[in-house]
Amino acid sequence: MLRPFGPNEVLFIVLAAQWTIALSAIAFLGGGLGGLAVALGRVSPRTWLRRLATGFIQVFQGTPLLMQLFLVFFGANAFGLGLNAWVAAAIALTLNASAFLGEIWRGSIQAVPSGQWEAGTSLGLHYGRLMRLVVLPQAFRIALPSTVGFLVQLIKGTSLAAIIGFTELTRAGQIINNATFKPFLVFGLVAALYFAMCWPLSLLAAWLERRMAAAHAR
Amino acid sequence: MSFTLRFGPVFEAWRELAAGVWLTLQLSASAMLIGLLVAVVCAWAKVFGPRWSGWIVNVYVEVIRNTPFLVQIFFIFFGLPAAGIRLSPDVAALAALVVNVGAYATEIIRAGIQSIHTGQIEAGLALGLRPVQVFRLVIIKPALRAVYPALTSQFILLMLSSSVVSAISADDLTSVANNIQSRTFTSFEVYIVVTLIYLVLSLAFAGAFRAIDRRVFSYPVAR
């Protein structure tokens, strides 16, 4: 017997969006830290660090996010750690975000004019202070539009956690669809909720980009 | 904490894996080609078409770019039969990939078209070409050339995200991996091997796109 698609079902889906937001937030914070490390590794004066960071980025950008999720989820089980789907998804998305943010921020760091690096060095700043006081603050401004754009990609990526069984927005839609069999309504609502999260960020990213292009044109 | 990795059963299934690679290659190559056509038409509609067609394309592009691929494929596979259109998993997977990559490529190609100097278009019109001929003979090739790197990286992303079609049990490399792991209980080993195959596939696509670039866009440009 099919359940009707009533207010309770809608509420179940809407409330599941909080897990999508939580997963995105954790992956963005973790990926932010990891991405900074990867970006600094990519521009490091040490060759082995540069190679390590480059390899990390290539592997995570050259393989499907779904496989990365499976590897963390099933890998932890193979090694007897037994992570639940929630932790596995958070770890996999964090690693994935680290690679993508690392590559975005590498570009931004290298876009800071070399005169700035030289000026910092000639003021006697060593590498750490040069990065922290001169390069990174300027790179941050350059990186902002693409970073916001990546956030959209990350939110959409969290939907794959549904495949390993974590009940976020997409999985909630699947559950309700199986019970009510109203796929148009259910997945329409799920899509609308994702759209409500992602579209403002897309608009923000586009606006930031236009503003930066205008600042450059001056 | 003790564990042993068993790659034996995975390598024994090499025939299945090879067939899976072929399925993923077919699926993504078809989606790239059809998606490219969709995107060229949509980009044309957005830049040269009447205002209403530009609006429709805008809605299409924004909706697709701001919702997850997994939800799009569920919508097509579970939703369309409710509207009387029944699709097999494979057809639904191809349709979803085309719809998805079409939206991303539309924006990329639109940027390419707008990078073409208006003088070129005017010259074409002055030679007596009809607008469609100007688009086909004057605009589209240099426009594609201008955005070729962005377009091909989008295509590689498409190939990687095609692994998601296994969620509706369409045939591809990931579905093959799922079958092998449920039979042999070597999930981690299977997914390691398949992940490496995807890595090789993305490098292979990048190489193929570079070769196409050298053949198709080898003519010099005036700057």
Find the residue in B nearest to A73 (Cα). B188
Domain that holds residue B196: 13-215
**Chain A CB within 8 Å of residue B167 CB:** yes
Q: What is the DSSP string of B147-165?
A: THHHHHHHHHHHHHHGGGG
Average pLDDT, chain B: 92
**Closest Cβ opposite residue B203 in set A62, A80, A173:** A62
In terms of Cα–Cα distance, which of A93, A76, A102 is closest to A162?
A: A93
Cβ burial, residue B164 (10 Å; 0-12/13-18/19+): buried
Inter-chain CB proximity A64 and B83 less than 8 Å: no
pLDDT for B1 equals 46
Is A3 a residue whose pLDDT tops 90?
no
Buried b (16+ CB within 10 A) or exposed e, B139-149: bbebbbbbbbe
Q: What is the DSSP string of B65-127?
A: HTS-HHHHHHIIIIIHHHTT----HHHHHHHHHHHHHHHHHHHHHHHHHHTS-HHHHHHHHHT
**Least confident among A1-5, A18-22, B72-76:** A1-5
Residues in chain A within 8 Å Cβ distance of B81: 183
Enclosing H/E stretch for B62: helix B51-65
Per-residue pLDDT reduced to its tens digit, A145-157: 999 999 999 999 9
Q: How many CB pairs under 8 A join A and B?
A: 127
Report how far apart, in Å, the C-alpha atoms of A188 and of each of A162, B65, B197 are: 17, 15, 34
Query: In terms of CATH architecture, what is A7-217?
Result: Orthogonal Bundle (1.10)
Specify if B221 maps to a domain: no
Average pLDDT, chain A: 93
- A207 to chain B, closest Cα gap in Å: 15
Residue B97, both tokens = 């990939």
**Least confident among A154-158, B3-7, B156-160, B205-209:** B3-7
Rg for chain B, CA atoms, rounded: 21
Buried b (16+ CB within 10 A) or exposed e, A5-16: beeebeeebeeb
pLDDT for A216 equals 76
**Closest Cβ opposite residue B160 in set A63, A170, A173:** A63
Cα A49 from Cα A37, distance rounded (Å): 10
DSSP B7: -
Confirm whether the ipTM is greater than 0.95.
no
Q: What is the DSSP string of chain A?
A: -PPP--HHHHHHHHHHHHHHHHHHHHHHHHHHHHHHHHHHHHT-S-HHHHHHHHHHHHHHHSS-HHHHHHHHHHHHHHTT----HHHHHHHHHHHHHHHHHHHHHHHHHHHS-HHHHHHHHHTT--HHHIIIIIIHHHHHHHHHHHHHHHHHHHHHHGGGGGTTT--SHHHHHHHHHHHH--HHHHHHHHHHHHHHHHHHHHHHHHHHHHHHHHHHH-
Provide mean pLDDT across the span B107-134: 94
Contact B20, B172 (CB under 8 A): yes
**Which CATH number belongs to the domain containing residue B156 in this structure?**
1.10.3720.10
The amino acid at A19:
W
- B58 to chain A, closest Cα gap in Å: 13
Q: In which band, very low, low, confident or very high, does the pLDDT at B223 lie, cut at 50, 70 and 90?
A: low
- What is the percentage of chain B residues whose pLDDT exceeds 70? 98
Provide mean pLDDT across the span B183-193: 89
Count the alpha carbons within 13 Å of A10 in the hemisphere toward its beta carbon. Answer: 7
Cα B170 from Cα A62, distance rounded (Å): 22
φ/ψ of residue A55, rounded to 5: -60, -45
For chain A, the residues whose C-beta falls within 8 A of a C-beta of chain B are 58-59, 62-68, 70-71, 74-75, 77-81, 152, 155-160, 162-163, 170, 173-174, 177, 182-184, 187-188, 190-191, 194-195, 198-199, 202
Cα A61 from Cα B157, distance rounded (Å): 9
Number of structural domains found in chain B: 1
pLDDT for B160 equals 96
Specify if B152 maps to a domain: yes
Provide mean pLDDT across the span B2-24: 84
Give the domain ranges of chain A. Answer: 7-217
Higher model confidence: residue B43 or residue A76? B43
Residue B119, both tokens = 């003088």
Provide mean pLDDT across the span B151-161: 96
**Chain A CB within 8 Å of residue B70 CB:** yes
Is B92 a residue whose pLDDT tops 90?
yes
Cα B175 from Cα B76, distance rounded (Å): 19
Cα B191 from Cα B185, distance rounded (Å): 11
pLDDT for A1 equals 64
Residues in chain A within 8 Å Cβ distance of B193: none
Report how far apart, in Å, the C-alpha atoms of A87 and of each of A24, A56, A76, A163, B163 are: 13, 21, 10, 14, 22
Inter-chain CB proximity A65 and B160 less than 8 Å: yes
pTM attached to this predicted model: 0.92
**Closest Cβ opposite residue A74 in set B163, B174, B191:** B191
Three-state secondary structure call for residue B27: helix
- What is the percentage of chain B residues whose pLDDT exceeds 90? 80
Inter-chain CB proximity B79 and A66 less than 8 Å: no
Instruction: Tell me which residues of chain B, numbers 15 to 44, contact chain A at a CB-CB cutoff of 8 Å.
Output: none
Provide mean pLDDT across the span A86-95: 95
First CA to last CA distance, chain A: 66
Specify if B8 maps to a domain: no
Inter-chain CB proximity A74 and B181 less than 8 Å: yes
The amino acid at B175:
S
Inter-chain CB proximity B3 and A78 less than 8 Å: yes
- B218 to chain A, closest Cα gap in Å: 27
**Chain A CB within 8 Å of residue B85 CB:** no
Inter-chain CB proximity B66 and A160 less than 8 Å: no
